[in-house]
Structures are given as C-alpha cells and as structure tokens.
Chain A
Amino acid sequence: MTEIAEPMPTAMPVSLHTGDAATKRLKARYAAERRFRLYGILAILFACSMLVILLSTLLKEGTSAFFQTEVKLAVTIDAGTIDPQGTGNPAEWDRGAFQTLVTDALYKAFPDITGRTEKRDLRGLVSPVAGVRLGQMLDKNPSLVGQTIEVWLPASDGINQIVKGGIDRDLPEIERPINDKQLAWFDSLEQRGDVKSAFNTTFFTASDSNYPELAGLLGAAVGTLLTMLVTLAISLPIGVAAAVYLEEFAPKNRFTEIIEVNINNLAAVPSIVFGLLGLAVFLNFFGMPRSAPLVGGLVLGLLVLPTIIIASRAALKAVPPSIREAALGMGASKLQAVMHHVLPLAMPGIMTGTIIGMAHAVGETAPLLMIGMNAFVTSAPDSLLASSSVLPVQIFIWADKPERGFVELTSAAILVLLAFLILMNGAAIWLRKKFERRW
C-alpha cells in the first residue's frame, strides 16, 4: 500500500463564487427561477381552466335542452269545437280551441278531479301552448278531425324542469313552480307509461316564443345566415379590392398613409360605435327598416372590413416579387400581373382571413342591438328587409328571461353558436394548412 499524504489543511482563499454565501445565493436564484416558471404555468392553467369551466357549465346546463318531456294524451278532435263554422277548411279553424281539446283530454285522463283550483293545477301539467303542436299536426293531416287520437304533447316548463333535474323536487312546495298534487298526478301518468323524454325537434324547427318548451333557434339561425350573406357580399370584394390597391398600386404618399393609419385604427374601434353609425346613417338618414338583416349585414360588413383588409394585405405581401416580375417581364400589364398571378396565389391567405373575420362577425351582438335586432320575432325572416333576430342576440334575449327553461335554452343556443364558430375556425385552419406555401 502506498501512502497517500494527507492534504495540508490550508486556508483556501474564499472566492465570491464558492463558499456558503455563494451556495445560498445560488439556491435563492434557482428558487426564484422555479417560482417564476411556476407563475407562468399558473397563468396558463388559469386561462385553460376558465375555458374548461365555461364549456363544462354550458354542457351541463345546455344538453338537457336537446330533450323535452312529453305527455301522452288521448285527444278527441271534436269537429264542432275547432271548426265552429263547419267549413272544413283548416284555414278557418279556431286556433284557440286546440288548447281546449288538450285540457279536455287532460280532464278525461283524471276523471276524479273536479274542483276549480284542482282543475287549474291539472292544466299546469301540460304546456299552455300544447294546442299549437296539435294544430300543426292536424294541418298536416286534416283527416284526423272527428277521431280520438293518442298524441305526445309537450309538458309544461315546470314539469320539464322537474324531470330534467333543473328544479329539485325535494324542495319545499312553496319554492317550486309545481305543487305536491301536480307532482303526484304527474307520477301517476309516469306509472301508466304516458311520459317520455323525446329529442327536442322544436328547438331546431321553431323560432322565438314566450314559452321555453315552444322556443327554437330556426328564426335566429336564418337571420344569422341572411345577415352573414350581406356582410360577406360587402366586406369581401371591398376588402380585397382595398388591399390590392394599397399593397400593389398605391404610391407612397400622404393620402395612402392616412388610409393605412385609418384602417389600423378602425380595427380597434369598439363595436358598439359601429352600431351607433348604423343607427344614425342607415336607419335615421337613409330610412332603412329596423331589425332587418340587410342593415345588420351592412353594419357588420363595415365592422369586419379592416380585419379582411389587413389579412389580405398580409397574404399579398407574402407572394414573392419574383412572380410579379416574371409576369411583367412577359409583357403583362400591372393589373394583369396582379389579377392573373398574385391574387390567385394570395387567395388561400385571403380566405383564411375572411373566415376568421366572419367568425368574429357571427358572434357580434352589441352593434345589432343598436339597430333594433332584438325584436321579438316568432318566425324565420323571409327577406333581407323582414324583421329578424340573430343567434347571439337570441342568446342575449333568452339570458334575460326569468323562466328556468330559458337558462338551458340559452346554454344550448350557445353550444350551437360555439359549434358553428369552431367549424368556421377549423375550416380556416384547414385552409391554411392545406394551401400554405413557403416561398
């Protein structure tokens, strides 16, 4: 074994970078590093969890709106009641009488109920507008008059909510819209097998209504479609033309500089101000009708114009100058070079920007309220000048209503709107991926 000399215990000179204080400092610095990193993670978690909470609340509240509780009743279609004049013409029917038929059928289903208040409570089981559904059924099939038919009719909002759990049936009687007696009657109906939960087709085939069980999205969806057509017709051609001019033709001078600054600023003007513009110019000055998709489309068209111009300019800028030069070198005029070569190459980018701009416009509410698009419209608009609603405004209107049934309708309408938006954004992303070209 060789002997190893013990190192001499000499006093090392203490450096700034070693020693206890330095280790401590380093530890503190690393701790600060980890903390800082944690803040970043927390910030992202916060943002993500907000989205998750938002979506899950909507899903929880909204999915039940796609189903509706229906009650089976044996309704006798008495010709004398609905057709007092005896014309046999569905157009002459007494529309109010259908509800009488429904209540009569209800009394027959519970023959031992006689008192006035009890009868009133009994009527509270089915929707006060179930007769409308019956009327629609008979319009399609007038030969049923005079017969007794078994039909599924919408239950009232209170019953609907009890079944779906929107209202807790164990609450004290005073706090629910449905009292104990009604609950017992309903349970007996359920035991007879006369209650079912059906897919809520009304939600997609009807328009706004004061009764949640009869309200649907069709009118708002058609209104949105018409409005967006006008918006697209306004903003796409004008936006692309403006971008082409500014990017390809405009000389660098005071005038074009003003246009550029102006477009950037316009993109950040609050949307409600565009609504005021629409009110003052289109409604008051030009006398266009209130609540019309035409006016809504014009306002939204001006609103998304800057977005489309900015996106189109970016797309045009991305086309390399060599393309232009080659076209010009072959003898094309400047306009030909742009129209035949540059614009087609920039088109995917322009389309992506346009879809994103339109997705923005679809969700816009405030400017449309200014031009009166919050009208109560119970049918789908049939022209660009008819009164109409749009999806986000419908959401806003329903969110204001006190009935519990409208909470789930609002959530469901939001789900439909979000699905629509995700579809549009997905299309934009797909376009970008598919046609993106690196020069």
Chain B
Amino acid sequence: MSVTLTVAVLLFLSLAGFWLGRNRAVAVAGGRIANLHSVPNYYGSYMALSAGLPALVLILVWVALRGAVMDWMVLSAMSPEQLEAWARVMLAPAELETLLPSIADGASALSQTHRQLLLINISNLAIGQAQYVNPGVIDSITPAAGHLAQLRGLADWTLFGVVVALAGGVLAFTWSKIGPEFRARNNVERIITALLVLCSTIAVLTTVGIVLSLLFESIRFFTKVPITEFLFGLQWSPQTAIRADQVGSSGAFGAVPLFTGTLLIATIAMFVAAPVGLMSAIYLSEYAPKRVRGLVKPVLEILAGVPTVVFGFFAILTVAPFIRDVGAAMGIPISSQSALAAGVVMGIMIVPFVSSLADDVINAVPQSLRDGSYGLGATKSETIKQVLLPAALPGIVGAMLLAVSRAIGETMIVVMAAGLQASLTLNPLESVTTVTVQIKSILVGDQEFDSAKTLSVFALGLVLFLVTLALNVVALRIVQKYREKYD
C-alpha cells in the first residue's frame, strides 16, 4: 500500500464526506433549506475539511519521519558481528582500526558517512538491486535488508490503516453533529482562516529554516576551525586529508581571499551597472519620448529575464576572449578567467535591476520640484543634477545597496567565468574566486558530510546570508523612509 494510494483514498474519503454532509444537511432540514443555519454546501465542506486535514497532516509527518525512524530501527537491530563483517570489507584499514574497539556499541560507533554508506547498501539489497552492493558484504547485511523490507511494508500498511480509521472516525463524528442549529459556515471559516494564517507563516518558517540550518552546520565547522582563523585568515585551500598520512592537505580555511574576490567582482559590476543603469533610468523618465520608452522598456525587461547561466555562457564565449584579445593587443597578459570579465558581465546583468529601481525612485519625486526649478530658468540637466538627484538620493542609495547585495549573492556568472584559485589580489586582470564559487565547487560532487571542507560551505553561506540580509534591511529601510517623505 503506497503513500500515493493512501493519499488518493483519503481524497476519496474527503469527497465522500462533502457529499454525505450535504445530503445529511438537506435531510435534517426537513425539505426547507431555510431551516438550516448555513447553506448545505457548508455542511459538506465542514465534513470534507475535518476528515481530510488531520489525516493529511498525519501523512506528511509520517513521510517526513519514517525514513529516519526505520533507518534507526534497522541499524540498532544489527549485531556487532554483522557490523564488523561489513566494516572489514568496506572500510579502509586505518578507519577500521579506529572503529573496532567501539564496535560493541553497535551502529552508533560508525561515523555519519559510514552509516550512510551502510544504509545505502541495505536499502539497495532490500529493493532487490544486489548488483549495486559489494558481493562481499551481502551475507552480513541480508538480515538487515530483510528487516528493512519488512518494516517498509508494515509501515505503509499501518499508515493506511491509521489514516482510514482517523478519517472514518472524524466522518462519523461530524455526521452525527450535523443539525439545523449547527453553525457550519462559521466552523468552515474558522478552519480556512487558520489555514491562511498557517500559509503566511511559511515565509517566516523558511527564514527560520535557513538561519537554523546554516547556523547548526557552521557551529559544527567552528568546532573544527576557529572562527578567527575563518574570518581573518589569509589562506584558503579547503583540501582536508583523506588519509591521516597524506602530504600537503592540512586544509587552510582563511576566507579573506574569498571576501576580497567577491568584493572585487561586485565593485567592477557596480562600476558598469551604476552609471549605465542610473543614466538610462534618467533618460527614460526625463527625456525619452513615449515611443522610445515603449521600445526600450521591453528590451530592459528581456535583459532582466535572461537566466544567469546564459550570462555565464556569454562571459566565457564572448566577453572573456574579447578582453583577453584586447589585453594581448596592448601587450598586457590577462587571465582568461579574469575578475574583469566576470564583473563586467555581472554588471550587464544588474543594469535592468538598477534602472527599474532608479526609475521608480525618480518618478516618485513630485512634479512641483521640477516645475519650480524650470521656473527659475534651469535647464533639464541642471534640474536633474541639482534638484532631482539630491531629492532622490536616499532612494538611489537604497537601490544601489540592493544591487550590491545582488552582485554579492550572484552565483552562476562567477562559477562559469571566474576562477577557483583563491588569490589575495585587487588586480582585476587576475583570476579571483568568490564565496559563491567556493560554495558551489566544494558541494557539488562531495558526499562527505562531516568533513571540515563540506562544513565550511555552510559557514560561507552564513556569511553570505548575513551580509546580504544586512544590506537588504538597510536598503529597504532607506527606500521606505524616502517614500514616506513624498507620499
């Protein structure tokens, strides 16, 4: 009995509840609907919602937790002998040596990575895909695989039984409650309002989820690498040793080169985006005839809608070779993954963002200020430079801060066009790396979840999140304050 089928059955029960409730209401009304407190459909909705929702929540909780619970049950049922037999085949000698003294504790002696490996082995065997399992360990994990298969079948049937019983029980109970005096509409509205509140808290829950997941993993990272080394260290080479005796892989987690690289590229991007975006916003809102505006606005919107991966490809296909060729013509060697190429392309990406924000800000300046300036004989550009821009300054600063936060958090362009080498330089012609590039390159393909290397990603993510959050909060506040001034 799969979960999908259980959901389908629940849906059917819920619909049946609607039909039952409606009919029951009509029946108790004794032929005169006006005797009822609510319209019959509300009685149906009441039964459908109260039968469906609790059972649905139950299914979701079940699905979320059953994997972890079953894994725990299977592992704790394994004997130390079985674990040892498995470990002797699958683990490296050095790892085996550290494990053997504590193997009597059972599966808790295994590291997280090894536990996952063991679980994958068991799970593959349980679904009959023995070809993915090392033949040497099949004997030792066959009982566990059988256990897991049995648990899975049992769990799905139990869920089905519990859901049907719960929904059926609720149906019977609500059915008996329906009478002419029953306030079905009020009850339905209460349930729906509660659902609305729940939905609006999801956004908050997302933020909480982001903060907690980043924080927990970062704290684990900072127990391995001191926070001062991370924040102020000048060397970044996150290779950690796979074997204890390996040479040259001690791992250095000083993130300063990443911060400077990120700032360098973001600065270059802003040097492109700020003047171009601001000037095009000014031209569009103050000078351009209607036809030009109608033509240019969609172009900027298309530019804003181009996915960043496309800009990344544009950078490696066109911009980087162009910059390299120009450099070669002038006798300057430029790296093909220069910060300049990545920054310029990122700047192009941000132009529409800046211009649309600046456009809003400029349009919000009251016409009376312009008219006053024209009345004194100022030209258009003088009005813009000496009246409009000072009046719109807070809003423009806010827009620029938002753009900077965007540049710092942008990933795909730098992943494709900037380098991996963490060098501490401010030379835009050299290759630098950024926080987002490191996050991507460390995580993709890495499965080991408790090494300092993988955990460092979450510390970087936390820094990224905090910095962009701070920028956003400040920018939004500035923009809001400014809006209020002229409203």
Within residues 182 to 231 of chain B, which ones have a CB less than 8 A from any CB in chain A? 185, 189, 192-193, 195-197, 199-204, 206-207, 209-210, 213-214, 216-217
A410 contact set on B, CB distance < 8 A: 313
Stretch at the interface among A35-43, A128-136, A171-179, A182-190: A35-43
Interface membership of A266, Cβ < 8 A: yes
Q: B306: CB under 8 A from chain A?
A: yes
B444 touches A265 (CB 8 A): no
A399 at the interface (CB under 8 A from B): yes
Q: Are B381 and A272 in contact (CB under 8 A)?
A: no
Q: For A272, what are the chain B residues with a Cβ–Cβ distance below 8 Å?
A: 409, 411, 436, 439-440, 461, 464
**Interface window among B97-105, B149-157, B161-169, B466-474:** B466-474
Asked if A258 contacts B204 (CB within 8 A), the reply is: yes
Other-chain residue from B303, B436, B476 in contact with A265 (beta carbon distance below 8 A) = B476
Q: Give the Cβ gap from B259 to chain A, nearest Cβ, in Å.
A: 15
Chain A residues numbered 3-51 whose CB sits less than 8 Å from any CB in chain B: 29-30, 32-33, 35-37, 39-44, 46-48, 50-51
Residues of A within 8 A of B476 (CB): 261, 264-265
Evaluate whether A268 and B313 lie within 8 angstroms (CB atoms) in the complex, with A51-B303, A273-B210 already known.
no
* A389 CB contacts on chain B under 8 angstroms: none
- Is A335 positioned at the interface, with any CB of B under 8 Å from its CB? yes
Contact A269 B283 (CB under 8 A): no
Whether A311 sits at the interface, judged by CB under 8 Å, is: no
Give bound CA distance, A259 to B206, whole Å: 11
User: Are B214 and A276 within 8 A (Cβ)?
Assistant: yes
B381 CB contacts on chain A under 8 angstroms? 32-33, 35-37
- Minimal Cβ-Cβ distance residue in B for A290: B447
Residues in A whose Cβ lies below 8 Å from that of B196: 241-242, 244-245, 249
**Is B252 part of the contact surface with A, judged by Cβ < 8 Å?**
no
CB distance from A213 to the nearest CB of B (A): 21
**Within 8 Å of chain B (Cβ to Cβ): is A309?**
yes
Q: Are A271 and B303 in contact (CB under 8 A)?
A: no
A280's partner among B207, B217, B276, B444 (CB-CB below 8 A) is B217
- A211 proximal to B (CB < 8 A): no
State in angstroms the CA–CA spacing of A381 and B461 once bound together: 30
- Chain A residue with the shortest CB-CB distance to B65: A286
Q: Given A364-B307, A366-B436, A399-B313, verify A40-B202 contact (CB < 8 Å).
A: no
User: Are A33 and B380 within 8 A (Cβ)?
Assistant: yes
Alpha-carbon separation in the docked complex, A416 to B410 (Å): 23
B185 / chain A contacts, CB cutoff of 8 Å: 333
Q: A53-B318, A258-B204, A273-B409 are in contact. Are A241 and B199 (CB under 8 A)?
A: yes
- Say yes or no: is A237 at the interface (Cβ < 8 Å to chain B): yes
CA distance A369 to B411 in the complex (A): 11
Are A395 and B310 interface neighbours, CB within 8 A? yes
Residue pair A40, B464 in contact (C-beta under 8 Å): no
- In Å, the complex CA distance between A262 and B206 comes to 10
Q: Which residues of A contact B439 (CB under 8 A)?
A: 272, 276, 370
Given known pairs A33-B380, A40-B283, A366-B411, the reply for A249 and B193 (CB within 8 Å) is yes
Rounded to whole Å, the gap between the CB of B130 and the closest CB of chain A is: 20
Chain B contact residues: helix, strand, loop or mixed: helix
**Complex Cα distance A274/B207, Å?**
10
Beta-carbon nearest neighbor of B186 in chain A: A333
Instruction: Check: B400 CB closer than 8 A to any chain A CB.
Output: no
Interface 0/1 of A363-378, CB less than 8 Å to B: 1111001101010000
Q: Which residue of B lies closest to A305 (CB)?
A: B203
Q: Which of B280, B314, B402, B415 contacts A47 (CB 8 A)?
A: B280
User: Closest CB-CB distance, B261 to chain A, in whole Å?
Assistant: 16
State whether A57 touches B199 (Cβ < 8 A).
no
B286's nearest neighbour on chain A, judged by CB, is A40
A425 to B301, Cβ gap below 8 A? yes
B279 at the interface (CB under 8 A from A): yes
Minimum CB distance partner of B468 in chain A: A270
> A306 on the interface (CB 8 Å rule)?
yes
Interface string of B380-401 (1 = CB under 8 A from A): 1110110000000000000000
Q: Mark A244-286, 1 if CB is under 8 A from B, else 0.
A: 1110011000000011011111101111111011011100111
A30 to B204, CA, bound (A): 54
Contacts A44-B296, A270-B468, A417-B310 given; indicate if A277 touches B301 (C-beta within 8 A).
Answer: no
Residues in chain A near residue B379, CB distance under 8 A: 29-30, 32-33
Q: How far is the CA of A425 from the CA of B71 in the complex (A)?
A: 46
In the assembled complex, the CB of B60 is this many whole angstroms from the nearest CB of chain A, namely 11
Q: Which of A360, A399, A425 contacts B312 (CB 8 A)?
A: A399
B348 at the interface (CB under 8 A from A): yes
Nearest Cβ distance between residue A304 and chain B, in whole angstroms? 12
Which single residue of chain B is at the shortest CB-CB distance from A265?
B472
Asked, given contacts A43-B280, A286-B64, whether A268 binds B402 with beta carbons under 8 Å apart, the answer is: yes
Q: Which residues of A contact B318 (CB under 8 A)?
A: 53-54, 57
Q: B209 contacts A277, CB within 8 Å? A: yes
Residue contact B472 to A268, C-beta cutoff 8 Å: yes
Known A-B contacts A51-B299, A245-B196, A276-B213; the reply to A46 vs B203 at CB < 8 A is no
How many Å lie between the Cα of A50 and that of B280 in the bound state?
14
Q: Give Cα A52–Cα B296 distance, bound, in whole angstroms.
A: 12
Query: Given that A37-B283, A263-B203, A335-B192 are contacting pairs, would A392 and B299 also be in contact in the complex, using a CB cutoff of 8 Å?
Result: no
Closest B residue to A287 by CB, please name it.
Answer: B67
- Asked whether B203 lies within 8 Å of A309 as measured between CB atoms, the reply is yes
Q: How large is the interface on B (under 10, 10 to 19, 20 to 34, 35 or more residues)?
A: 35 or more
User: Once the chains bind, are A46 and B276 in contact (CB under 8 Å)?
Assistant: yes
For residue B78, CB closer than 8 A to chain A, the reply is no
A281 contacts B209, C-beta separation under 8 Å: yes
Cβ of A238 and Cβ of B202 under 8 Å apart?
yes
Q: Residue A396 at the B interface, CB < 8 A?
A: yes
Instruction: Considering the complex, give the chain B residue whose CB is closest to the CB of A425.
Output: B305
Q: B480 — nearest CB in chain A belongs to which residue?
A: A264
Which residues of A are found within 8 Å of B355, using beta-carbon distances? Answer: 47
Known: A47-B299, A48-B299. A365 touches B307 (CB 8 A): yes
Closest-CB distance, B437 to chain A (whole angstroms): 10
Q: Say yes or no: is A221 at the interface (Cβ < 8 Å to chain B).
A: no
A218 at the interface (CB under 8 A from B): no
Q: Which residues of B contact A417 (CB under 8 A)?
A: 307, 310
Residues of B within 8 A of A395 (CB): 309-310, 313
B277, B303, B309, B348: residue with the most chain A Cβ atoms closer than 10 Å:
B309
0/1 string, B409-438, CB within 8 A of A gives 1: 111100110000000000000000000100
Q: How far is the CB of A420 from chain B (nearest CB, A)?
A: 10
Contacts of A414 in B (CB 8 A): 310, 313
Q: Which residues of A contact B443 (CB under 8 A)?
A: 279, 369-370
Asked if A407 CB lies within 8 Å of chain B CBs, one says yes
Q: How far is the CA of A359 from the CA of B307 in the complex (A)?
A: 9
Is the C-beta of A198 less than 8 angstroms from some C-beta in chain B? no
- Residues facing B in A209-244 (CB within 8 A) are 237-239, 241-242, 244
24 chain-A/chain-B pairs, Cβ below 8 angstroms:
A36-B380, A40-B287, A43-B276, A43-B278, A43-B280, A44-B283, A44-B284, A44-B296, A47-B299, A47-B300, A54-B306, A244-B196, A245-B196, A265-B473, A266-B206, A268-B472, A271-B411, A272-B411, A279-B443, A335-B192, A363-B306, A363-B307, A363-B310, A395-B313
By a beta-carbon cutoff of 8 Å, the part of chain A in contact with chain B is: 29-30, 32-33, 35-37, 39-44, 46-48, 50-51, 53-54, 57-58, 61, 237-239, 241-242, 244-246, 249-250, 258-259, 261-266, 268-274, 276-277, 279-281, 284-287, 302, 305-306, 309, 333, 335, 359-360, 362-366, 369-370, 372, 374, 392-393, 395-396, 399, 407, 410-411, 414, 417-418, 421-422, 425
B residues in contact (CB < 8 Å) with A? 64, 67-68, 71, 185, 189, 192-193, 195-197, 199-204, 206-207, 209-210, 213-214, 216-217, 275-280, 282-284, 287, 296, 299-303, 305-314, 316-318, 348, 351-352, 355, 379-382, 384-385, 402, 405-406, 408-412, 415-416, 436, 439-440, 443-444, 449, 457-458, 461, 464-465, 468-469, 472-473, 476
Q: Apart from A43-B283, A268-B406, A374-B444, what 8 extra A-B contacts exist at CB < 8 Å?
A: A44-B283, A238-B202, A250-B200, A261-B476, A270-B436, A272-B436, A272-B464, A287-B67
